[in-house]
A and B are shown apart, each in its own frame.
Chain A
Amino acid sequence: MFRHLLVPLDGSDVAQRALDHAIDYAHSSGGEIDLIHVIDRRIVQAAPKALPLDAQKSLLEKLEEHGSGVLEQAAGTARSRGVRAHTHLVHGIIAEEVERVSTRIGCDLIVMGTHGRRGWAPMILGSVAESVLQRCTASVLLVRPHGAPATK
């Protein structure tokens, strides 16, 4: 059985479904869950002109606050089911950070959505999920969004 699960959370519905699956699984396997939220610096870099430093700082603070909120809520849900949960709020590129944290904690299963926030619906497998599959040595459970195409 998988004992140590990692769930990347970006606040999307499919990440929430992935969390539900991970909690159910950890609950029955007696496992624990690590939750990771990655603040993508490209959000700040996406501005057409470099943002003034204080604007960057305030934006990053808001993103951190949002990220901690997402993580704490998820950890609370896990703990209410008696599942041990740890949180990681990090800066970087999502797939890279998922790989780094998964290696560091030695998780054996990554539970993640096929498309998160940045997904482009016509793509069957989002770029983050694709990249995690190609980088990580842990097993991966891919969770489809609700209303995913039923035929293909």
Chain B
Amino acid sequence: MAATSFQRILVALDGSDCSFRALDFACHIAKQYPGCTLVLVHVIDQRALETARMVHLQPMVEEIVRTLHAAGESLLAEAEAVPKRHQVSATTHLEQGIIAQRLLACAKEQGCDLIVIGSHGRTGLQRVLLGSVAHAVAQLAPEMVLIVREGAAASAGA
């Protein structure tokens, strides 16, 4: 008899391989618990937009926002297909803000009991063992956190 249970699992997605690997693991975990759903979240980095404003790209900011929103929607659509293949239900959420902060807020709003996140995203130094977003989430989340490393492989047989 299982002593543990997860009902809602938040998966942080930024388009990196590591985040898709995290999604695979989340699907495998969700399948163990009947009724468990995934909350797929992509956060548009507010700081990138602030930077664009700072470097006098003001006239382009609207276009940058539009582009990032479209890219985020398309990422979430691609991601959504993964749980579907595993017959796991999922909702998608496109957010904007400081990444770790929005992820934590979303986990709370959606009543998640586990956050699954890659150790490294698309930005930042690869030589550190833990990226800054994963580090902030590990430090601040009241929920359980699964940090999926670069080399981890979720597919059966791996």
Contacts and interface: CB of A to CB of B under 8 A. Distances in A.
Do A and B pair up? The answer is yes
Interface of A: 1-2, 17, 20-21, 23-25, 27-29, 108, 124-125, 129-130, 133-144, 148-152
The 6 closest A-B pairs by CB, nearest first: A20-B3, A142-B145, A125-B139, A140-B147, A141-B146, A24-B2
B140 interface: yes
Given A134-B129, A135-B129, A140-B147, A23 B152 contact: no
A137 B149 contact: yes
B32 interface: yes
A149 B142 CA distance: 6
- Chain B interface size range: 20 to 34
Contact of A124 (B4, B29, B140): B140
Interface in B41-75: none
Determine which residue in A129, A138, A142 has the highest number of CB atoms from chain B within 10 A of its CB, and name it: A142
B34 interface: no
Interface string B69-106: 00000000000000000000000000000000000100
B130 interface: yes
Given A21-B4, A139-B147, A2 B152 contact: yes
Contacts of B142: 144, 148-152
A133 B138 contact: yes
A139 B146 contact: yes
Contacts of B143: 144
Contacts of B147: 133, 139-142
Given A24-B2, A133-B130, A151-B142, A1 B158 contact: yes
B52 to A, nearest CB: 30
Nearest to B104: A152
A14 B151 CA distance: 27
B152 A139 contact: yes
A139 B149 contact: yes
A24 B32 contact: yes
